Chains A and B, each alone.
Chain A
Amino acid sequence: MAQPQKNRSRIRIYADILASIETEGNAKLTRVLYRANLSYDRLVRYLDELVERKLIQEVRSDDNRYYVITEGGKEFLREVAKAESFLSGFGLSL
């Protein structure tokens, strides 16, 4: 089931953001922006959605704002990895 290359799906973008936050540990907005390859406006929107879904947590200290991945976020990444592996068996991707 070959599929032409298309824009990243919402799930793919969520996974990319979560993976970058997991890699960074305490991830600052600028680092996530760099790793997730998104415009500032879109990234802020997606981060708000991820906080709402309890997949990440926003932490504020002094003037800094950074993000940490929750257990739910880690579980989501594991599920996405399994889904990707299953999909690749049929020539599909996220």
Chain B
Amino acid sequence: MPDQLFIANAVLSLASGLVALLVSYTAFKHNRLVESGILRFVSFGFMLLGMGLLLQGSLITLLALDVGRIADRAALVYVASLIYLVLQLVAYSAFAVGYARGAYGRKALAFLSVVVVSKSELLLGTYVNAVTQLGSVMLLGFVVFQGILVYTRTRNRVSLLVLMGFALILVAHSLTMLASVLVSGLLYLAAGSVQFAGFLALLLFLIRSGHIGSATEEQK
């Protein structure tokens, strides 16, 4: 992949990471007021996702600019990538557990924890990236399904924006898997762009719900 594509992807990852941290902070702030267990999962999940995206963005930037000849340090790059992938997987697990608790109560947790543990064991294998992407797609699929249920019940714009955010991130992970299979740099950039669009939807959600800028109709 040419350096420009690397840099473009890094910028998208860094921007997405900042939005994720903003959502995490907002959920944390509201959790102090309403003390909801589910909000704790949302805050924790977005915090991990934000940290992971910032790590990924920084790593891609360092690789593209070859700062300190980092490209030669394969072990360091591998460990950083692994940390990012695990953070991502744990973050999506947190969202899935949060949604499962809200929708089905604690019974659903047993099933989800088995899925997560089995995926973690597979991390030690060779196909780390493919397995974590597949795990992310499965967990996000569940989250998007719950998001659809929430939207069909509430029919409000803020839940639609959250649904769009998660759905676009799901599409981005599917594209990343495809990019790995086809070894396509352009497809990889497309995945980064779609993921960024997902985080833009989440940013719009924060704006519409009055957390950034002036009050909106949802508040009235």
Stretch at the interface among B47-55, B110-118, B148-156: B148-156
B162 CB–A CB distance under 8 Å: yes
- Count of B residues near A, CB < 8 Å? 34
Contact B209 A82 (CB under 8 A): yes
Contact A92 B38 (CB under 8 A): yes
A78 cross-chain contacts in B, Cβ below 8 A: 215, 219
Stretch at the interface among B5-13, B27-35, B130-138: B27-35
Contact A91 B33 (CB under 8 A): no
- Count of A residues near B, CB < 8 Å? 21
Contact B205 A89 (CB under 8 A): yes
With both chains docked as a complex, state the minimum distance between the C-beta of B33 and any C-beta of chain A, in angstroms. 6
Contact A91 B150 (CB under 8 A): yes
Against B, the Cβ 8 Å flags (1 = close, 0 = not) of A62-94 are 000000000000000011111111111111101
B residues neighboring A (CB under 8 Å): 26-27, 30, 33-34, 36, 38-39, 42, 98-99, 101-103, 146, 149-150, 153-154, 156, 158-159, 161-162, 205, 208-211, 215-216, 218-220
A82 cross-chain contacts in B, Cβ below 8 A: 30, 209-211, 219
Known contacts A1-B103, A1-B150, A2-B153: A89-B162 contact under CB 8 Å: yes
B42 cross-chain contacts in A, Cβ below 8 A: 90
A11 cross-chain contacts in B, Cβ below 8 A: 33-34
With both chains docked as a complex, state the minimum distance between the C-beta of A91 and any C-beta of chain B, in angstroms. 3
Contact B38 A90 (CB under 8 A): yes
Q: Select one of B38, B208, B210, B218 contacting A1, CB under 8 A.
A: B38
Complexed CA–CA distance, A11 and B39 (Å): 15
Known contacts A81-B210, A83-B30: A88-B39 contact under CB 8 Å: no
Contact A87 B39 (CB under 8 A): yes
Complexed CA–CA distance, A2 and B159 (Å): 12
A residues neighboring B (CB under 8 Å): 1-3, 9, 11, 78-92, 94
B98 cross-chain contacts in A, Cβ below 8 A: 1, 90
Contact A85 B34 (CB under 8 A): no
Known contacts A1-B98, A2-B102, A92-B102: A85-B158 contact under CB 8 Å: yes
Known contacts A1-B150, A82-B211: A88-B156 contact under CB 8 Å: yes
Complexed CA–CA distance, A92 and B137 (Å): 24
A89 cross-chain contacts in B, Cβ below 8 A: 158-159, 161-162, 205, 209
Contact A88 B30 (CB under 8 A): no
Most buried by B among A1, A78, A92: A1
Contact A91 B211 (CB under 8 A): no
